[in-house]
Each structure stands twice: as C-alpha cells, then as structure tokens.
Structure 1
Amino acid sequence: MSDFEIFDDRFKDLLLPDAKLEKLVTNCTWAEGPVYLKSGLLVWSDVPGNRMWAWSEEKGEASIFREPSNYSNGNTLDQQGRMVTCEHGGRRVTRTEHDGTIQVIVDHYQGKKFNSPNDVVVKSDGTIWFTDPPYGILPGTKEGYESDPDLDGCYVFRHDPISGETTLLIDDMLKPNGLAFSPDEQRLYVADTGGSHDPDAERVIRVYDVVDGQSVTNGRTFCHIDPGMADGFRLDKNGYLFTSSADSIQVYAASGDLLGKIRVPEVISNCTFGGPQGNRLYITATTSLYAINLNTSAASQ
C-alpha cells in the first residue's frame, strides 16, 4: 500500500520524490506531544509510561529524556527555545529552563486546579494558550491521578507570563485537545475529542478568529475527521493543517479542503516539524515514533 492518498494536486507539491515514512522507535505505551529542540533532539511524551523520550538524528537512537515526567503530554517551545510542557500529574503547565530546572508557569484558575492540561502553543507575544480536558483525572485513568474536577467544564485558556493573568477563552467544546495558530496568528484551531467518551459527539477541528491577539470569536467547524478523531496537529508555512487521525496524517488547506493523507499503520496522536532543514515531519502514533521528509516546513521556526 502506498504511504499516500491524494485528493488534490496541491498535496503532490508537498511530497519529495523519495518521500517515505520511517519508523524510528517502537517501545512506547501512548506516544504524544512531540517537540523539536534547538539542540537537535526530538522529545516526546509517553503519557501512561510517565516518561519522556528523546530521539537523536545524529546518533540514530532514542534515550530516556525525563523519568518520571509527571505524566507529561503536550510540549512546545517558547521564543527563547525553552520547552513548555502540559503535565497531567501536576495539573499544570511548566517550562524547562536551559539548565534543566523545571519552573511552574500556571497551575490554577481563579483558585481552582485545572483538570489536566493537555496541549499548548506559545504565541509570538509570549503568551501561552492551552487546552484542559479531563483525561488525567478520569476514573481509572492511567495518564495521571484520579480526582474530582475543580472546574465545571473543559476549557481553553490563555496565560500571560508577564502579568500573571490567566483568561478563559473557549467554553463551547466538550474536550478541547490539540491546538495551533495559523501562520499569521489570525486564527486559532482547536480539536474536540469529546468523541472519546461520547459516541454522538462530533469529531471535528474547530477554528476561531483571534481578536487583538488576546481573545477569540466566531467559533465554527473547520473540518470533520474520519476515521477516528483529531488529537494534535501542526500547520506548515502554506497554512496547511497536518492533523492526527486513526489512519493517517490528514492534510487540510485553510479552506477546510482535504488535500491528502500520509498513511501511518498505528492510531496517531500528534506531529511536529523539525530536523536540520525543518522539513522533517515527526509523528507520534500509539507505540511508535515515525518521520517523513517533506517539501514544506513549519509555519514558524
């Protein structure tokens, strides 16, 4: 079977002549949250395993990056190249300093604990936007510590590390999960994984207009995901959205048109761009880390 399914000629422009999906590592429980560090390491979370892994392209090998990881999930970089992490176990968002120390960025809203911050993105102004579904506190969870929620729902938040202010931005989703900005930061995309516990829930990515860089409005459906659900995703420099699903990385134009699929033999959680040229798409999928070189790169490096 081909690694690709093409629905639009624009997808062909993303493929290099020798593009091929590679399996790099396969010993995870549930691989998530890939982030490419400026050091050249690709770091990702194994959420139920309570550890983080690192892949070195130079050495061609994986190693343990952090264990325990406080049930880390989503990761990203800030403008200083520091890793920002969502921790289910601590119900918080943290930052790893260049010396390796971990600083708490935010762990509550109006005196109440978060559910279990899941995925995170840092805007160009340094503000931190993150989702807060309950997967790390649900009964029987293996991704954190079972607990009753303090909050009355699952929301998307914005945290300003300068003022210390945390703002509730989005309250119209069942279980907000992956999120990312358009290249011009005028749109915020957010996956809703409410279908994980509600078979009737829509399996969608929603999109919101960003107002004055600080709030959002006009929430609407961007695309429906089939099969499976969108979990994490990234945008490239064309404004194309590369999202996880049950069978592939699905690639959507800004219009919401499905351009094509990069088939992956495991259920996918997330992806990120990296590598020396920035054109290597790393894919976390159930037990494994995959990669493929493409004719594109991240919306911002």
Structure 2
Amino acid sequence: MKTKIIYIAVTTILLFGCVDTKQKLGYEAEYENEVDIYVGDVKSTDVIRKWFDSYNARDLETVSSIEHDDVVLYAPNGMIINGSDEHTKLAEQFLSAYPNAKWEILWSISSDIAFNTKPSENWVTTCVTVSYGEGDEATTLQRIIDAQIVEGKIKLVYGYERTVSKEEAEQNKIQIYDSSITEIIDVNAEIEELADSIMIPEGPVWDDSSKSLLFVDVMNNKLFKWNEENGASEYISPSGNTGYAPNLGQGLLGANGLAIDSEGNIIVCQHGDRRLAKVSNSSSNEPTFETVVDNFEGDAFNSPNDLAISNDGSIYFSDPAFGFFDLNSYQFVDSDLKGLDFNGIYKYSPETEKAELITKDIDLPNGLALSPDEKTLYVNKMGMLDSNPQIIKINLETNESETFFEGKELAAKFEGNFDGMKVHSSGNIFTTGPGGILVISPDGKLKAKLNFGHSTNCAFDTNEEYLYVTGFINNQKVYRLKLK
C-alpha cells in the first residue's frame, strides 16, 4: 500500500510539477486572434528605472548604453526616432532648452507576450510624470511608455501622453520656476518626516554642538530636540510661559523663535513671558531663564515672536501681539495688559542692553532674517489684518523700508501665511508662505515652491545640507529636505 502511494505521488510530480505556472495578466490582439500576456521578469523594470534615473542625472552616456544601437522610439507627437545616436542628440537639445526637466516614475510593470507567429517578447509598461519649463511656461505631462526589453536593453519604445492640469501639477512637492535654483535644490529629493503630533511646531534652529534640531510647540509650552540617533524628545519645559509677566493665561503663550548665541546658549522669544530670554542649552524640567530684554522705553513687549542674531551679537526681533490672540474667534484681543499699541521691529544691542525701534509701520510682522552682508533685514508681513501679505525689505543703514515681494496673488490660490523665514548663504530667501516654502531670489523673483503644506518656519543646518521645516496646527509635523 505504501509503495502504491509513493508511486502515485511521484507520478503526480512528474505530470504536474513542470507545468508553466506563470500568472496570466490578460491578452493582446494578434491579427484576428488573441494571445496571452503573462507576468514578466521584474528585473526588466530596473532597466527602465535606470533609464529615467540617468535622464534626471543628465547622464546621457548611460541612457545610450541602456539602448540598443538601432533602437526605435515612437514619440507621443508622432516623431519617429531611429537609433540611439539620434535619440541622444534630441535629448541634449531638450535638456539644453529645459535644464529643470524632471522624470518621476509612478508605476512600472513587466509582462511577457506569448505570440503565436513569433517568439515571446518582454515589454515594460511605465507611467511617468514629466515636468519642465518655468513660470507660466511650466508644463507637466503624464506619459505611458511601452518599452521592449531585449537582452537587458531597450529595443523599441512607444510613448503616449496627456497634459496634467495646473491643479494636479501643484500637488507635486517641488515646483521649480527658475532653473538656477537647482544649484541648491535637488528636484529628486524626498521630503522626510522627523516628528509628528506637535500641536503648533515653530522656531527651528540647528544646534551644531549636538548635531541636533531644536524646535518648540507654542501651544504646549515645550521645547524639543531632534537628532538622527534619538529622534524627537522633550528637551526644555516650560519654554515660553513661566509666570514672569502678566498675560491672558491661555492661547499662544509658549516659546516661538529660537537662536543659538556665540556662547552656545539658546535665545528664546517668549510669548507668555513677553521677553527675549537666555537659557542654558541643556535638558531641564526646571529651566532658569535670564532676561535679555523685556520692554521698550518702559512698556512691556507684546509677545516677541522671531529673531535673528548678527555677527556683532545684536538681536533683531519682531513683536506682534500673538500672545493676545484668541484661537476660538481667530481675533486679537484688546487688553489693559498691553502697554504698546503697535507691533514693532526692534534691534537689541548688547552694549546698551536696550531695544531700539526700527519700525512700527508693519501692521503684523512675523519672521525676519538678515541678508548675508547684514545690510538688509527681510520681514514677513502676514496680511491677516489687511489681506495683503508681503515681504518687507529694510535698509539697516537708513531704516528705510520697501516692499520686496507681493504675496496677495499666491494667497488667493494656496493655504499658508508669510510666517518664519531664513536666508541661505547664496542670498536666496527661504520663507513660509502660501503653498509651503517659497524660495525667492535677492532681487525678489520667485524661484521655487516646496510643498510642505501649511508651515510656520524653516532653518538650515550649519553646512546647509538640509532644509528643516515646521508645520502648523493643521500640519503638526517637522520635516526636512536634502539640499545639494
């Protein structure tokens, strides 16, 4: 009996063990007949991935090496490209005209077609987004590429495409309007999430001594620390409201802007305590804050918001009244606790230990940053009071102000405010704004938009390898983007 069972088992294996078990995907018409399409070798999709990666790297030599010399490409516009050499020449012309062109694969499938009248063929079908051009000429397409793979190289290509609407294109994370900015921004970089569930993240600053990012939660009165080794953790609490000064007792009372001084201490803009304060750069649940400055000509500040420290130790800071802001009504609150009837921009001098008023003519100032030569102070005007968000440029030699960048048109299209900002060593301004992070040239031209969602502030590390971004109450995350 046992011998018979073994015989049956062996016979079953011999009969069925070698049956082709490839999974059928569908069919293709071959003249009047239908032929089967099966799952193909997934390694063929790697050929297509390398092809487009080489395009993005501007490595046309590798692009050519992946193609057969006699490759034929049927372009979506009807053009027939014969041979790899001709394809390379056309690619050079296209990339010269559109140096910001980018290809992004959405999906790729390998399949084998079992023809009746000729040998089976391996084809890879790929959907790719292609974007190129700048400003009003910016174009985004979606293409379906059918490529025949023979001996690991591309033999034949058919391309089909559709134009992507502006609304769809705006969902792309990195929008380039001036190709020169690609010297800084890597169009292929991915946005990384570093922290989540931070109710209102703000004040990012890089601490080179610990290779860490410091940032705050304005609502929860805490300061956090993030690094590669440990991730995000609570670092200093409380951070901005310790009972030092009278305030409304609720709302946006935590710390906001942060900076590191020349001695390694953290300089904090405290909403609740209504001052600039200094605290040791060490973890503590009972921090000791030392007042830097808490008044202008005897009147308490509103709620210092953001700051920038110059090379000589002077501190430039904004003082809007967000410590007197009602989140329920989304309105500023009148209070007898307020001693100043304006929202000022100040310069604190360590020599005089006093704050000098630079201007009180910006109705709702927020983030600010110094130009690389420290002759110009850029200030974000939020536009919450007059629906006219702008970036203001202040000449620090004369204290004269002028409009540097108009944001009204962008604000009509995208969510977000002119909040925090930083200036790159190249002179380009990276600012929060409608649509995420806006990158603006020193002459006021919009060069890129980075879609981090609604954001409050940004920062660079010491070597400007990464851009760090804090979200908002509807985007409670901290992000980073690898730069070039």
Give the TM-score normalised by structure 2. 0.56
Identity %: 32
Q: CA deviation at 1:146?
A: 8.5
Question: Runs of 5+ in structure 2 lacking a partner?
Answer: 1-170, 242-253
1:299 alignment counterpart: none
Task: Single out whichever of 281-290 and 99-108 deviates more from structure 2.
Answer: 99-108
Q: CA deviation at 1:245?
A: 1.5
More helix as a share of residues = 2
The 1-side partners of 2:324 and 2:200 are apart by 17
1:191 alignment counterpart: 380
Listed one character per residue, the Cα deviations across residues 258-296 of structure 1 (whole Å, up to 9, x for unaligned) are 0011111x3110000016x4311100011110001102x
1:43 alignment counterpart: 214
The amino acid of 1:284's aligned partner reads: T
1:168-187 matches, within 5 Å, as 168-187=357-376
Secondary structure, counterpart of 1:10 in structure 2:
helix
1:54 alignment counterpart: 225
The equivalent position to 2:448 in structure 1, one of 257, 260, 270, is: 260
Q: CA deviation at 1:81?
A: 2.6
The 2-side partners of 1:262 and 1:134 are apart by 29
The amino acid of 1:86's aligned partner reads: C
Q: CA deviation at 1:221?
A: 0.7
Instruction: Judge conservation of contact 2:372–2:427 (CA < 8 Å) in 1.
Output: yes
Listed one character per residue, the Cα deviations across residues 1-25 of structure 1 (whole Å, up to 9, x for unaligned) are 4321011111222223641111111
Q: CA deviation at 1:57?
A: 1.8
The 2-side partners of 1:30 and 1:139 are apart by 15
2:404 corresponds to 1:222: yes
- Change in Cα spacing, 1:285 to 1:98, as seen in structure 2 (3 Å) is closer
1:108-257 matches, within 5 Å, as 108-139=295-326, 147-148=335-336, 149-193=338-382, 195-196=383-384, 198=385, 200-211=386-397, 216-225=398-407, 226-227=410-411, 228-257=416-445
1:65-76 matches, within 5 Å, as 65-69=235-239, 70=241, 71-76=254-259
Listed one character per residue, the Cα deviations across residues 108-129 of structure 1 (whole Å, up to 9, x for unaligned) are 1111100000001111111111
- Change in Cα spacing, 1:285 to 1:166, as seen in structure 2 (3 Å) is same
2:263 corresponds to 1:80: yes
The amino acid of 2:400's aligned partner reads: N
Question: Runs of 5+ in structure 1 lacking a partner?
Answer: 296-301
The 1-side partners of 2:325 and 2:300 are apart by 14
The 2-side partners of 1:4 and 1:139 are apart by 34
The amino acid of 2:402's aligned partner reads: R
Instruction: Judge conservation of contact 1:178–1:231 (CA < 8 Å) in 2.
Output: yes
Instruction: Judge conservation of contact 2:358–2:399 (CA < 8 Å) in 1.
Output: no
2:469 corresponds to 1:283: yes
The amino acid of 2:228's aligned partner reads: E
- Change in Cα spacing, 1:17 to 1:134, as seen in structure 2 (3 Å) is closer
The 2-side partners of 1:169 and 1:248 are apart by 29
Give the TM-score normalised by structure 1. 0.88
The 1-side partners of 2:187 and 2:471 are apart by 24
Listed one character per residue, the Cα deviations across residues 51-80 of structure 1 (whole Å, up to 9, x for unaligned) are 111111233x11001222221001112222
The count of residues paired between Structure 1 and Structure 2 equals 284
2:456 corresponds to 1:274: no
The amino acid of 1:127's aligned partner reads: S
